[in-house]
Amino acid sequence: MEDYAYILDYLPRGRPDQARSKEPLAYAVGERNFVLLELVPKSDAALLVGDRVHVGKEPALKDKIDHVRGRVRFEDITHAAQSELRPVIEQIVRADESRFVEFFNTAGPITTRMHMLELLPGLGKKLMWAILDERKRGKFQSLTDLDTRVKALHQPQKLLAHRIEMEITGTHEKYHLFAQPFVEREEGRGPGPPRGMR
């Protein structure tokens, strides 16, 4: 599901509200699919919010994480992890900037009345057309280039982070541009359908 994740909260003695275990625990958001994960760090690991850790299947790369307990919902993570979610998502967007610039360079219509760009919070038709018109003059090279060329668009990384946070926290989002939706597993069935827009 994810090879790398970014730490949202680290509890070296486990959650105080869970008596079952006092083993170290961490909450993280996946780098690629933005899934929320509950992790068990190694006993000697020292983790900070925003640390990038390996959570994939290659044991040789797991220097800080012992294993992944599983995927969790937004309401299951700590309040501290919830409050760190958007800043950490912004960190991921900045670290993988080309991926998100490509979104602005290739985003297209979803229906005859709605464009993918309009799913970004606060981005209406006027701003959408400004981005599309500027894109015809040449591909955007960076988020700074996008910000400079489309004057009314301020800090696109914040719009992206807000949209991703909405997809993670909202259970009623119809379209998922970036985050894999959380789907309950039914007995005898696999994990749910793939994300809507990816």
Q: What is the 3-state secondary structure (H, E, C) of the chain?
A: CCCEEEEEEEECCCCCCCCCCCCCEEEEEECCCCCEEEEEECCCCCCCCCCEEECCCCHHHCCCEEEEEEECCHHHCCHHHHHHHHHHHHHHHHHCHHHHHHHHHHCCECCCCCEHHHHCCCCCHHHHHHHHHHHHCCCCCCHHHHHHHCCCCCCHHHHHHHHHHHHHHCCCCCCCCCCCCCCCCCCCCCCCCCCCCC
- Tell whether 194 is covered by a domain: no
Looking at residue 191, what is its pLDDT? Answer: 43
Statement to judge: residues 119 and 165 lie in one domain: yes
- Tell whether 188 is covered by a domain: no
Looking at residue 105, what is its pLDDT? Answer: 97
Range of the domain at 138: 96-169
Statement to judge: residues 100 and 63 lie in one domain: no
- Tell whether 37 is covered by a domain: yes
Count of domains observed in the chain: 2
One digit per residue, the tens of pLDDT, for the chain of length 198 reads 799 999 999 998 887 776 666 789 999 999 999 999 999 999 888 899 999 999 988 765 668 999 999 999 999 999 999 999 999 999 999 999 999 999 999 999 999 999 999 999 989 899 999 999 999 999 999 999 999 999 888 899 999 999 999 999 986 778 899 999 887 653 343 444 434 444
- Tell whether 174 is covered by a domain: no
Looking at residue 8, what is its pLDDT? Answer: 98
- Tell whether 131 is covered by a domain: yes
Please name the residues in contact with 19: beta carbons below 8 A apart, sequence gap of 6 or more: none
Looking at residue 151, what is its pLDDT? Answer: 87
Statement to judge: residues 101 and 68 lie in one domain: no
Statement to judge: residues 101 and 161 lie in one domain: yes
Global confidence as pTM: 0.86
Statement to judge: residues 106 and 154 lie in one domain: yes
CATH code at position 141:
1.10.150.280
Looking at residue 86, what is its pLDDT? Answer: 96
- Tell whether 45 is covered by a domain: yes
Looking at residue 89, what is its pLDDT? Answer: 98
Looking at residue 15, what is its pLDDT? Answer: 77
Going by their DSSP bridges, the two strands 65-71 and 36-41 should be labelled as antiparallel
Looking at residue 68, what is its pLDDT? Answer: 93
